[in-house]
Amino acid sequence: MPSLKDVKMKIVGVGKTKQITKAMGMVASAKLRGAQSRIERFRPYASKYREVIGALAAKVDGVSHPLLTEHEEKKHCCIVLVTSDRGLCGGFNAAIIAEGLRLAGEARQQGMDVTFLCVGRKGRDAIRKSSYALGTTYGDSMGSVDFALASAVATEVIHKYEDMELDEVWLVYGEFVSMAKQPPASLRLLPLKAPAAESDPDSGPMCEYVYEPSEAKLLEDLLPRYVKVQVYSGLLDTAASEHAARMAAMDNATRNCDELINSLTLLYNKTRQASITSELIDIVGGAEALKG
Partner 1 sequence: MATLRLEVVTPDKTVINTDAEMVICPGVEGEFGVLPHHVSLLSALKIGSLRYRVEGQDKEIFISGGFVDVNNNICSVLAESAEHAHDIDTARAMAAKERAEERLARREEDLDEVRALIALQKATMRLQIAGGL
- The nearer residue to partner 1, 43 or 255, going by C-beta atoms, is 43
- The nearer residue to partner 1, 204 or 292, going by C-beta atoms, is 204
- The nearer residue to partner 1, 38 or 75, going by C-beta atoms, is 38
Give 241's Cβ-side CA count (13 Å radius).
Answer: 26
Give the one residue of 33, 41, 102, 181 binding partner 1; rule: CB under 8 A. 41
For position 12 contacting partner 1 by CB under 8 A, the verdict is: no
Of 172, 140, 170, 145, which is closest to residue 157 (Cα–Cα)?
A: 170
Rounded to whole angstroms, the maximal C-alpha distance in the chain is: 117
Rounded to a whole number of angstroms, the minimum distance from the CB of residue 261 to partner 1 is 44
CA separation for the pair 35, 285 (Å, rounded): 69
User: How many residues bind to partner 1 according to rule CB under 8 A?
Assistant: 30
Burial of 147 (0-12, 13-18, 19+ CB in 10 A): middle
Give the one residue of 70, 129, 144, 213 binding partner 1; rule: CB under 8 A. 213
Q: What string marks each residue from 189 to 208 as x (binds partner 1 by CB under 8 A) or -?
A: -------------xxx-x-x
Tell me the angle at which helices 215-291 and 4-59 cross, rounded to the nearest 10 degrees.
Answer: 170
Which residues is 118 bridged to in the sheet? 81, 137
Of 124, 113, 123, which is closest to residue 166 (Cα–Cα)?
A: 113
- The nearer residue to partner 1, 138 or 268, going by C-beta atoms, is 138
* Residue 195 neighbours by CB distance under 10 Å: 18
Span 50-89, contacts to partner 1 by CB under 8 A: 52, 56
Span 127-186, contacts to partner 1 by CB under 8 A: 146-147, 150-151
Rounded to a whole number of angstroms, the minimum distance from the CB of residue 26 to partner 1 is 25
Of 67, 31, 34, which is closest to residue 222 (Cα–Cα)?
A: 67
Binding site for partner 1 (CB under 8 A): 38, 41-42, 44-45, 48-49, 52, 56, 146-147, 150-151, 202-204, 206, 208-213, 217-218, 221-222, 225, 229, 232
